[in-house]
Amino acid sequence: MLRKALLPSIFVLLAYSFWLSPDFIAIASGVAIFLFGMLSLEEGFRAFSGGMLEKVLKRSTDKLWKSLSFGIVTTSLMQSSSLVSVITISFMSAGLIGLSEGIGIVFGANLGTTTGAWLVAGFGLKVKLSLYAMPMVVFGVILLFQKAIHLKGIGYILTGIGFLFLGIHYMKEGFDAFKDNFDLAAYAMSGYTGLFLYSLIGVLATVVMQSSHATLVLIITALSSGQISYENALALAIGANVGTTVTAIIGAMGSNAQGRRLAGAHLIFNVFTGLVAIVFITPLLYAVDAISLWLGIGETDYTLKLAVFHTLFNLLGVMLMLPLIQKMVLLLERLIKEERVEIAKPRYMVASAVQFPDTAVEAVRKETNRVYDNARDIIITGLGMSKSLVLSEAELEKPLAAQRSVNRINIDDLYQRRVKSLFSAIIAFISDAAFSWKEHQSGSLHWLRDANSSIVESVKACKHLQKNMLHYLLSDNYQIRHEYNQLRMRIALLLRQLELLRQGLVDDHSLLSLDEIRLSLLEWDKRQNLRYYRLIRDGKITPEMGSSLINDAGYVDDIHDSLLAMATTLFSQSKRQRNAVERELSLDDAELDEILSAAEQARRVP
């Protein structure tokens, strides 16, 4: 209930805020465009997973010094630690690199970003990569229309980076209204209170301007005009360093647990480094003076001294944090948990069961029953039906025909998690089983393995059937809707009958009773095919609909065949010898066809 109300509440709240403040629209749209850029970037990098980029990334980040250097070099080139951080987050979300490598890159990015301070302080140079945002989006979108996967991937990456910058641009625009409130001289204070206060202002200014470089320019201007003291300027630089993590945190919002962990590592590193810099401000100042003297920087050239300080405290932070990387990884993994994906695990096949043939066969049989249960549920919901309806005695046709909306479930995902995981465990268990067993037990395992394969086949056929089924069930054409409903009803009826057979609720629960189901299906099949051709001929359905229907009826047949083959093994209530005899007595398709032909002939004779 609460979850259902959350999304509309957020919408209403946002709409009200937009109405109140146009600046908020710019900020929120900036965040939205930025996140869209992140998604696009992830999609782009995913195209390269398992390929050249993954190899290059793995090779250039497999050791700590390599990942550090990677971060330093790329950030120095791009002049944006935020961009390097968010790209690293998308690398991780796409599974291209691990958390340790990502942390190495982020640490390196913190060092690389100090080159910016040198450029700003030394040459007054400001590299504005955002100028390339629009062309990147244009080139990116053109590449998106290409067929080659790699070109498409590059397209997504370019579009993603373009949108990142565009998002940052809008956030800046929105925050511009608050920019004038930063009167840096207004809070001039000395001592630790001043340091903390100015660090906080530095954080806020960087969040507002979305660039630590812009904050540095502001600090240098204020410092050179004497608005703030040198110590306050240093505190602002520390704050700017912490504030720059906000971009990574926004970037991680749309990312998976790995991405969020990296943003966490980034935040921990920058906050820790900032705290260390504040606590050891006096020795750091002495060190800055000494280095400045050694480099020939003038006593009053505070802008270059600021660059020295920026580099020094980031270097100190990296040196202090490097030995703690593994501990940080463990902490982040504990704090930020992966979303739990429910994967079916074997319940009965314990290692000790392999030692006892009869126990092992029973364990596999029980586990196979679970595979069937899961597959049956996937088939029912995959075709837009409800389990309670299919497995009841209620009438099927009317509720199915009255259905006006159908939920689409991801059969592939469910198959992987609920069927394949168990099937793989069964295969592994059977492989472990001793070959010296008695023939009949090995035989039972053989049949059970086949039953599992049949179940898997039925789910796969259902996956193929799902696409057209869900499409045509909502069609305006009554006839095609009716035919597809008939198809899923056939499956539902079979599942119902199998359930009765399984529970021993039918009078004749021998395997031979399955022949009855086979015969009725064969009869139905013959009638249906003729009907389909008649419907096409009468123009009640288009030939395209007809061909889909014929193909999908084939998938329904596959589901029937697979499930009946499974039931022959799994639902047999007879003893072993009796079961073997019943199997032999079962009629094949040709024999069933013969019965139908004879019946047809007899009907024709008056």
Q: Rounded to 10 degrees, what is the CA torsion of 210, 211, 212, 217? A: -120
* CA 596 to each of CA 107, 138, 490, 591: distance values in angstroms, whole numbers, following the listed order: 76, 65, 19, 9
Is the separation of the CB atoms in 56 and 97 below 8 Å?
no
* CA 66 to each of CA 58, 60, 107: distance values in angstroms, whole numbers, following the listed order: 10, 6, 11
Which CB, 358 or 594, lies closer to other proteins? 594
Interatomic CA distance for residues 168 and 457, integer angstroms: 50
Span from 211-219, 269-277, 466-474, 588-596 in contact with other proteins (CB under 8 A): 588-596
Which CB, 425 or 595, lies closer to other proteins? 595
Q: Select from 231, 373, 523, 557 the one that contacts other proteins (CB under 8 A).
A: 523
Which CB, 39 or 522, lies closer to other proteins? 522
Q: Select from 2, 7, 402, 602 the one that contacts other proteins (CB under 8 A).
A: 602
198: Cβ–Cβ under 8 A, 6 or more apart, which residues?
187, 189, 228, 232, 233, 235, 236, 239
Q: How far is the CB of 571 from other proteins (least distance, A)?
A: 17
Q: Select from 147, 345, 603, 604 the one that contacts other proteins (CB under 8 A).
A: 603
Which CB, 343 or 585, lies closer to other proteins? 585
| Tokens matching residue 446 | 């053989």
Q: Determine the residue type at 534.
A: R
Interatomic CA distance for residues 121 and 216, integer angstroms: 9
Is the separation of the CB atoms in 93 and 258 below 8 Å?
yes
Q: Select from 300, 352, 584, 604 the one that contacts other proteins (CB under 8 A).
A: 584
Question: What angle, 0 to 180 degrees and rounded to 10, lies between the N-to-C axes of helices 478-502 and 513-537?
Answer: 180
Write the burial class of residue 602 (CB in 10 Å: 0-12 exposed, 13-18 middle, 19+ buried).
exposed
CA nearest to 167, candidates 36, 25, 39, 23 = 36
Q: Does 177 bind other proteins (CB under 8 A)?
A: no
Which CB, 183 or 516, lies closer to other proteins? 516
Which CB, 428 or 598, lies closer to other proteins? 598
Q: How far is the CB of 542 from other proteins (least distance, A)?
A: 32
Q: How far is the CB of 507 from other proteins (least distance, A)?
A: 9
Q: Select from 124, 358, 578, 589 the one that contacts other proteins (CB under 8 A).
A: 578
Touching other proteins, residues 501-520 (CB under 8 A): 508, 510, 512, 515-516, 519
Span from 295-303, 309-317, 341-349, 594-602 in contact with other proteins (CB under 8 A): 594-602
The length of the chain is 606
Handedness of CA 398, 386, 454, 516 (dihedral sign): negative
Q: Select from 369, 475, 587, 593 the one that contacts other proteins (CB under 8 A).
A: 587
Which CB, 413 or 591, lies closer to other proteins? 591
Q: Does 525 bind other proteins (CB under 8 A)?
A: no
Q: How far is the CB of 592 from other proteins (least distance, A)?
A: 8
Q: Does 377 bind other proteins (CB under 8 A)?
A: no
Q: How far is the CB of 358 from other proteins (least distance, A)?
A: 19
Q: How far is the CB of 590 from other proteins (least distance, A)?
A: 11
Q: Does 387 bind other proteins (CB under 8 A)?
A: no
Which CB, 43 or 515, lies closer to other proteins? 515
Touching other proteins, residues 259-288 (CB under 8 A): none
Q: Select from 32, 149, 279, 598 the one that contacts other proteins (CB under 8 A).
A: 598
Interatomic CA distance for residues 448 and 445, integer angstroms: 5
CA 499, distance to chain mean position in Å, is 35
Is the separation of the CB atoms in 379 and 459 below 8 Å?
yes
Tokens 């991680």 -> residue: 252
264 CB neighbour count, 10 Å cutoff: 21
Q: How far is the CB of 585 from other proteins (least distance, A)?
A: 5
Q: How far is the CB of 527 from other proteins (least distance, A)?
A: 13
Q: Does 577 bind other proteins (CB under 8 A)?
A: yes
Interatomic CA distance for residues 278 and 198, integer angstroms: 11
Which CB, 173 or 561, lies closer to other proteins? 561
172: Cβ–Cβ under 8 A, 6 or more apart, which residues?
30, 208, 209, 210, 211
Which CB, 405 or 601, lies closer to other proteins? 601
Q: Does 582 bind other proteins (CB under 8 A)?
A: yes
Which CB, 405 or 577, lies closer to other proteins? 577
CA nearest to 114, candidates 75, 87, 83, 68 = 75
CA 606, distance to chain mean position in Å, is 66
Q: Select from 405, 580, 590, 593 the one that contacts other proteins (CB under 8 A).
A: 580
Interatomic CA distance for residues 86 and 475, integer angstroms: 44
Q: Does 591 bind other proteins (CB under 8 A)?
A: yes
| Tokens matching residue 78 | 């791009």
Span from 259-267, 473-481, 550-558, 583-591 in contact with other proteins (CB under 8 A): 583-591
Span from 35-43, 88-96, 473-481, 593-601 in contact with other proteins (CB under 8 A): 593-601
Q: How many residues bind other proteins (CB under 8 A)?
A: 25
Site for other proteins, rule CB under 8 A: 508, 510, 512, 515-516, 519, 523, 577-578, 580-582, 584-587, 591-592, 594-596, 598-599, 602-603
